[in-house]
A and B are shown apart, each in its own frame.
Chain A
């Protein structure tokens, strides 16, 4: 053991264990906009008032670990998941940090300035898992519950398959309280019913063929494959039932909460129950709290504390707790990796609008199930949650941890041409 550090040992263990991951599925919860670390899972009650904010802290089931008072349900379940308090990213631009968070790399990211970062954008983690864990059933291996992620009016880079091809793009499902579940790829025209879809399919095929001749780049084969998947889903009653939340008992639906996020988490559970390898739940389409068709993002430059009290705090606490309980009760938690994280944190110092601004230097992530050790706290932040003070973890590390949990080997990564800018967080295994 001489000359071998503990960190090296952990790394060796992590690499050794990476051949067979315990996680059959991943639920990746994307808290778009960036939750404030101090108002969620890394409060600093001894910090000056202009940093700590107005919330008190509560004890958790993990000795010595306290959360913001807005998360009592998660606090009482802290022994079921682990918390990373030392996440840090590379940019305070939603677009760039979003790409980093979803792909583990800044390559190809585009921010507000519109200039792409050097390199080709990597496939998102869900696409990589989908490529390795492609289902024989024809069902998509990577589904996103929620609309496309935007910064302002622009969709961000990094939510798709990248060089793995369009066939690894996510199959998207959207839920809202008014209209229920929708499949955007299959927006039906007026009066078009599933029974009439066969004709519609023929029409689409004809259009696709014509389009391919015109522009082979825009309408490649994988696009057709994806559309086939979509039609297959709607035409098969058993597949359609996957998305039918009315099949769930009212009590279960209520447990998750009748918000978009709550019902999206419930749908994610239904999907992993059917073996979908990777389900991403987007809390919102846009980062802003008010300008969103969903529950409103976490980008709380103003009204942060009121929004946290009235909406985001109880909603996240309620729905994520319900997801943990439901997975556990069904015996799915051991085989389902759950990750909840945003693209960055928020400024420890409260701004002049009762809000917090972007802060990429320190934030938190929750991780549970799928062979991950529960009840751990990885890393610490400094006295004001401004920087990691120990065990810094990057989005690349988190992506590598997901790869390890699902058992993506280094050989598979090499074969696919995937480079991961990070190491698995060995302490979690």
Chain B
């Protein structure tokens, strides 16, 4: 496997940034050969949570964030029905996820919450339509998620204390993949309102929409860096899927995986020094960690 290697360095405002455009500095975390998706780093930086399709089951799993670690399925109620797309609470004590209640050849999605040890499961958002991609706000008081309850995929916010639901997006396109900024002030997401999927951000009340990418390719699964200054996302603008990083205003876009395979589902480490992602560049879909010393990109 041959990769183009380039190192970009610079000093902006006294902050050193460094992004290596290759996969030569990777640490391979998993090695079980199963398809994986929806990666999230635990707040203490010790574990990664992801979805795995393994022996016919779609399930949430955790793995220690270290080389060749053992994959451990998360114990949830009804483990034989698909459960996926999990996200840690800020204190790391809870996990919110999508639970798929299979009915014949159809399924009904709902949003569940479970303690990290698998106990205390409860339904947070009952099935009403397509319900997916739940994400805790940093203060733990809200859940942002995607629902089609008003027709097409829109982003909503649930205030956990009073179960109040607020619709944040309203347009004909699909609005997907929400992710909160570290201070809870904004949500970054992907939207097809411009014709195809682009990365946008908005205030936590749905106002102040900013379009951050503008190209003919698909830009999806955006995630804010822990300090909120950068955003990692997936794009197929090179013909394959690669992980890109850009400043929070959409400037300074950099391809950090830069290969011809599928690289998807970026997740920042809590200290912002690494990005985990899922790639099949060595054959099967495995979890990798890559160093990223973040700062403002030119």
Q: State the A residues within 8 Å of B (CB).
A: 45, 49-50, 53-56, 58, 69-70, 72-73, 94, 151-152, 176-178, 250, 253-254, 257-259, 287-288, 290-296, 299, 301-303, 305-306, 309-311, 314, 318, 350, 352-355
CB pair B130 A69 closer than 8 Å: no
Count of A-B contacts with CB under 8 A? 110
A136 to chain B, nearest CB (A): 37
CB pair B55 A293 closer than 8 Å: yes
CB pair A302 B284 closer than 8 Å: no
CB pair A352 B148 closer than 8 Å: yes
CB pair B33 A69 closer than 8 Å: no
Interface residues on B, range: 35 or more
In the assembled complex, the Cα of A384 lies from the Cα of B229 at a distance in Å of 42
A residues in contact with B192, CB < 8 Å: 49, 53-54
Closest to B104 in A: A152
- B105 contacts the other chain (Cβ, under 8 Å)? yes
In the assembled complex, the Cα of A253 lies from the Cα of B283 at a distance in Å of 8
CB pair A303 B129 closer than 8 Å: no
- B153 contacts the other chain (Cβ, under 8 Å)? yes
Known contacts A290-B102, A314-B262; is-contact A178 B55 (Cβ 8 Å)? yes
CB pair A305 B55 closer than 8 Å: no
Closest to B241 in A: A314
A246 to chain B, nearest CB (A): 13
By Cβ-Cβ distance, the 3 closest A-B pairs, closest first, are: A54-B192, A293-B56, A56-B196
- B34 contacts the other chain (Cβ, under 8 Å)? yes
Task: Produce 1/0 per residue, B55-85, CB < 8 A to A.
Answer: 1101000000000000000000000001000
- B163 contacts the other chain (Cβ, under 8 Å)? no
CB pair A72 B239 closer than 8 Å: yes
Closest to A302 in B: B130
- B29 contacts the other chain (Cβ, under 8 Å)? no
CB pair A55 B280 closer than 8 Å: no
CB pair B153 A354 closer than 8 Å: yes
Query: Chain A interface: which of B19-27, B213-221, B249-257?
Result: B213-221
- B166 contacts the other chain (Cβ, under 8 Å)? no
A88 to chain B, nearest CB (A): 22
- B172 contacts the other chain (Cβ, under 8 Å)? yes
Closest to A291 in B: B102
CB pair A288 B105 closer than 8 Å: yes
CB pair B196 A69 closer than 8 Å: yes
B40 to chain A, nearest CB (A): 15
CB pair B176 A306 closer than 8 Å: yes
Closest to B193 in A: A49
Q: State the B residues within 8 Å of A (CB).
A: 33-35, 37, 53-56, 58, 82, 100, 102, 104-107, 109, 129-130, 132, 148, 151-153, 172-174, 176, 192, 195-197, 216-218, 220, 236, 239-241, 262, 264, 280, 282-285
Known contacts A254-B283, A314-B241, A354-B148; is-contact A306 B33 (Cβ 8 Å)? no
CB pair A152 B105 closer than 8 Å: yes
Known contacts A69-B217, A290-B107; is-contact A56 B195 (Cβ 8 Å)? yes
In the assembled complex, the Cα of A318 lies from the Cα of B236 at a distance in Å of 13
A302 to chain B, nearest CB (A): 6
In the assembled complex, the Cα of A152 lies from the Cα of B102 at a distance in Å of 11
CB pair B264 A310 closer than 8 Å: yes
Known contacts A54-B173, A177-B284, A293-B56; is-contact A299 B218 (Cβ 8 Å)? no
CB pair B196 A290 closer than 8 Å: no
A residues in contact with B58, CB < 8 Å: 290
Known contacts A50-B172, A301-B105; is-contact A56 B216 (Cβ 8 Å)? yes
A221 to chain B, nearest CB (A): 35
In the assembled complex, the Cα of A306 lies from the Cα of B177 at a distance in Å of 10
CB pair B153 A56 closer than 8 Å: no
B182 to chain A, nearest CB (A): 26
A residues in contact with B54, CB < 8 Å: 178
A residues in contact with B217, CB < 8 Å: 56, 69
21 contacts between A and B (CB under 8 A): A49-B173, A50-B152, A54-B173, A54-B174, A69-B217, A70-B218, A72-B236, A178-B33, A178-B55, A258-B283, A288-B105, A288-B107, A290-B82, A290-B102, A290-B107, A291-B82, A303-B109, A306-B132, A311-B37, A353-B130, A354-B174
CB pair B284 A69 closer than 8 Å: no
In the assembled complex, the Cα of A355 lies from the Cα of B130 at a distance in Å of 9
B residues in contact with A56, CB < 8 Å: 195-196, 216-218
B residues in contact with A178, CB < 8 Å: 33-34, 54-55
Closest to B150 in A: A352
B residues in contact with A301, CB < 8 Å: 105-107
In the assembled complex, the Cα of A355 lies from the Cα of B148 at a distance in Å of 10
A residues in contact with B216, CB < 8 Å: 56, 58, 69
CB pair B132 A352 closer than 8 Å: no
In the assembled complex, the Cα of A353 lies from the Cα of B34 at a distance in Å of 27
CB pair B262 A292 closer than 8 Å: no
B59 to chain A, nearest CB (A): 11
CB pair B218 A69 closer than 8 Å: yes
B residues in contact with A58, CB < 8 Å: 216
B100 touches which of A152, A290, A311, A314 (Cβ 8 Å): A290
Known contacts A296-B53, A353-B129; is-contact A250 B283 (Cβ 8 Å)? yes
A residues in contact with B284, CB < 8 Å: 177, 258
Closest to A178 in B: B55
CB pair A55 B196 closer than 8 Å: yes
B125 to chain A, nearest CB (A): 15
B289 to chain A, nearest CB (A): 20
In the assembled complex, the Cα of A299 lies from the Cα of B107 at a distance in Å of 11
Closest to A179 in B: B55
In the assembled complex, the Cα of A355 lies from the Cα of B107 at a distance in Å of 11
In the assembled complex, the Cα of A250 lies from the Cα of B154 at a distance in Å of 43
A343 to chain B, nearest CB (A): 13
